[in-house]
Structures are given as C-alpha cells and as structure tokens.
C-alpha cells in the first residue's frame, strides 16, 4: 500500500511516437481527468513522451526523485519500439527480472488462447518465450492486474505503468486509484467557479487577480480570454479555484473588482455562482 498523502502531486505520462506524429489521438488525458475528478482528485501535470529509452529514462528519473504519484500509459510491450519497462528499471538502477506473478498470468493467457485454437500452451516455443518478455519488470515491483487479457502492468514507488490500449489501461488505472489511494479520495475540498467579463482587457484586471492571491493564499485566480473567434463577442472567463471557504469570498472580490473596472458580468449557466 502506498504511503502517499494528500500533498502528493498527481502526474500522467503518455508514451508513444504515434501520439506525437498524429497517427493516433491521445485519449488517456481526458479519461484520467474524469477518473480523478470522480474521486475528488486533480491532475497536476502531464507529459507526452516518445518511444525513446533515453528520453523516458531521463523523465522517469526525475519523477521517481519526487513525491509525485505518476500514472504511465504505453510502451510496456515487448516489441523493439517498447522501452518503458527498461527505462523505469534504468531510472531506478534496478535490473529487469521476470516477475513470478507476471509469468503465471502470461502462461495462463497462452493456455487460454491455445484452448481456443490460437497458438500453443507450450511456453518453450519462441512465440511464448517472446510473450514472457512482457513480464520482465524492475526488480521489487508489484504487478497490476489486467482484466482484459491478463498481461499485467507494474507498480513501483508510486508509479503505475499500464499498456497504451484504453480498453486495458483504464480499468487498471481505476483499480489503482481505488485500491492504492482510497485515502486520498475527496481528502481536499476544492471548488472552481467563474464568470464571464465583457468589455475589459486582461491588463486591467490583472492587478486585482494578483491582489486576490495575496489576500487569500491557497486560492488561484485564472483568466481565459476569448478573442471573438467564430463571430462571438470578445470576453474573458475569470475565476478562482481552491478551498470553498477561501475561494468563494475571493470570487466575490474578483467580481466586484471587475465590475468596478467597467466590466459587464455574465454568470455561466450551471456555474453555481450566485448573482
């Protein structure tokens, strides 16, 4: 069980040249945000990395040195373009070893497929020996069960590594969040609320945003301008995020300042912000 606390940042690593080249669109980021949000958690950072062992090793060395909780999707197969398992081991200065549970699960998978007339249950065949390569993980890790086809991922030092296929990755990540980090669920009360401000430039409201963050430490102010694309009227979405007891008075301050500075205010439908 992880020793993570509510102070740990949450990060996502998506691995794959196909994402960077545009051959495939990443689906993990929105899904991970959804999974975290349902548990009262937020993503702090994301990296999309190539299938390059040196790049992966460097990134993982940094994340292992932090207290971050990291979810990593992709690159744990056994083809020449898969480097995540090897990079994780190198980043930790650990050898890759065949995990006994991974060996058992892969063996069982091969037997199940053979019973369907696909391949052989004989683990000495070259094909099955190659499949066993997917069970070589950094020494000392734990496996993460794969409910789709039994080929496991692995967990070590607050890092969870799963395949790139969403049908496999997402149940594995959900299990991880619910079984390794249940104590973090809804541990921090957090709200994010905003309003629309017309006829005011960001430069005019920025000093008020800076004053807000000084007056209410722990609250972040944000500004999302729209320049009037598609024929719409230029405006700014102004808001705050943080603990409700601090964020709500900070939001009122920001609205009052925007109004005082000449903005026309509109409250988005469903924002939960009162007039």
Pick the CATH number of 191-266 from 3.30.70.1130, 2.130.10.10, 1.10.357.10, 3.40.50.1470: 3.30.70.1130
CATH of domain 10-184: 3.40.980.10
Report how far apart the first and last C-alpha atoms of the chain are (Å, whole number): 46
Q: Which two tokens stand for residue 194?
A: 């905003």
d(C-alpha 59, C-alpha 219), whole Å: 29
Angle at 107 between CA 106 and CA 108, to 5 degrees: 90
Give residue-wise pLDDT tens across range 76-129: 999 999 999 999 999 999 999 999 999 999 999 999 999 999 999 999 999 999
pTM: predicted TM-score of the whole model, two decimal places: 0.85
Q: How do 220-226 and 235-242 pair as beta strands?
A: antiparallel
pLDDT tens, 48-78? 999 999 999 999 999 999 999 999 999 999 9
Residue at token pair 């905003």: 194
* Lookup: tokens for 267: 């409250």
Q: Where in the chain is the domain with CATH 3.40.980.10?
A: 10-184
């Amino acid at each position: 069980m992880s020793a993570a606390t509510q102070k740990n940042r949450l990060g996502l690593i998506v691995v794959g040249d196909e994402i960077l080249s545009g051959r495939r669109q990443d689906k993990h980021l929105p899904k991970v945000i959804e999974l975290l949000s349902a548990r009262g958690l937020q993503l702090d950072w994301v990296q999309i990395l190539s299938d390059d062992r040196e790049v992966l090793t460097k990134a993982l060395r940094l994340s292992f040195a932090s207290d971050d909780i990291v979810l990593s999707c992709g690159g744990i197969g056994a083809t020449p373009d898969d480097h995540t398992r090897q990079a994780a081991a190198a980043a930790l200065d650990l050898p890759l070893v065949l995990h006994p549970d991974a060996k058992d699960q892969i063996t069982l998978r091969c037997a199940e497929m053979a019973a369907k007339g696909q391949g052989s249950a004989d683990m000495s065949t070259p094909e099955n020996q190659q499949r066993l390569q997917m069970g070589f993980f950094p020494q000392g890790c734990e496996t993460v069960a794969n409910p789709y086809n039994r080929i496991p991922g692995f967990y070590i030092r607050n890092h969870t590594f799963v395949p790139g296929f969403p049908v496999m990755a997402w149940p594995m990540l959900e299990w991880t969040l619910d079984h390794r980090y249940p104590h973090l669920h809804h541990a921090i009360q957090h709200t994010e609320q905003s309003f629309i401000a017309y006829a005011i430039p960001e430069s005019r409201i920025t000093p008020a945003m800076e004053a807000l963050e000084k007056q209410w430490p722990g609250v972040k102010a944000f500004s999302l301008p729209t320049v009037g694309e598609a024929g719409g009227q230029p405006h700014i979405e102004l808001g705050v995020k943080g603990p409700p007891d601090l964020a709500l008075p900070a939001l009122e301050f920001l609205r009052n300042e925007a109004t005082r500075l000449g903005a026309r205010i509109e409250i988005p439908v469903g924002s939960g912000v009162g007039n």
